[in-house]
Amino acid sequence: MEPTLDRQQFRSGPDPERDLTFNVNEWRGEIWGVCSGAGIQKGYVVGTRSGDELRLGVSVLQEDGTATGAKVNGRVVGADGTNGSGIVLDWDLGPARLERSGWTDPDTAPEELDERPGPTGQVRLVEIDDDNISDVLRLRVATHQEEYVADNATSIAEGSVCVPRGWFRAVYDGDVCVGFVMLANFDDPAHKYYPLYHGWYLWRLMIAAQHQRRGYGTQVLGLVCGHIDEQGGPRRLSTSWSQEVGGPAPFYRSFGFEATGEIDDGEEVALLRRWPDGSPADS
């Protein structure tokens, strides 16, 4: 049985000067996660796996404010989860041997990965009510994404009391709840956010960790644009994203969002330049 790295924690100890802990996720050959320790404020790991061979990129922010990056090659060693597994890396940020020490969250087992062959083509945005709110509240993003995306309970609360009120929906593929999306429409020139986001604003988009990397995010954005078309107003959709390594900017850029040069509360403001049908969006 080929060992998996999915949602495992690896620790590089025991040297306290160079002791790093990695929370690693793997999905269909792609690896991502976070690292901490050894004077690191934040650290991110992304890369790919082919068989036992790893190709990773590691970016860290040291406590003194300096940034360090490295490209890492390595291999998976060990057996299945019963006997433990580990990885051996050739790199310059810490010890070579990383041994498995437990789950990313020691108190709860990770959600089962979505093993269906792919989205069914029945992805839809569903109004949230008494029948499905528990499904929505159970959803969680991957550990390294938690600082970028609020939990759904917080999003629903904010969307319910803020002005303008958020338009939010559960994302379903068939009968499986896979995510959550929320918009705001800043159409009042007197609103403080009107200068930055006049028109529709993509306030939240989350796809649960076990359903990620399956194309749901792109499909949801297409449905969002369809909703905006149905409203009959300007076709203008903006959002904002963290500029840190590991943030969602690459995904949004791949869909057609472009940075405007504006910064809002430390986040980069972006505008969708072309609609999914290829026509220019309203500026």
Q: How far is Cα 182 from Cα 168, in angstroms, rounded to an integer? A: 4
Q: How far is Cα 283 from Cα 280, in angstroms, rounded to an integer? A: 9
φ and ψ of 256, to 5 deg = 125, 5
Q: How far is Cα 74 from Cα 85, in angstroms, rounded to an integer? A: 14
- Looking at the chain, list the stretches that DSSP marks H as alpha helix, in order from N- to C-terminal side: 133-138, 152-161, 194-197, 216-231, 249-255
Q: How far is Cα 13 from Cα 211, in angstroms, rounded to an integer? A: 32
Q: Determine the CATH number of domain 123-272.
A: 3.40.630.30
Q: How far is Cα 273 from Cα 283, in angstroms, rounded to an integer? A: 7
* Domain residue spans of the chain: 8-102, 123-272
Cβ neighbours around 230 below 10 Å, total: 8
Q: How far is Cα 38 from Cα 268, in angstroms, rounded to an integer? A: 30
Tokens of 44: 């991110």
Q: Encode the chain (283 residues) as per-residue pLDDT tens digits.
A: 455 676 676 766 556 556 677 777 777 777 887 877 767 777 778 888 888 788 887 777 777 777 777 777 777 765 444 434 567 666 555 555 565 545 444 444 556 666 665 666 678 999 999 999 999 998 988 766 777 788 999 999 999 999 999 999 999 998 899 999 999 999 999 999 999 999 999 999 999 888 887 889 999 999 999 999 999 989 999 999 987 766 788 889 999 999 999 999 889 999 999 999 999 999 7
Q: How far is Cα 269 from Cα 238, in angstroms, rounded to an integer? A: 7
| Beta bridge partners of residue 89, listed in sequence order | 74
Its pTM stands at: 0.68
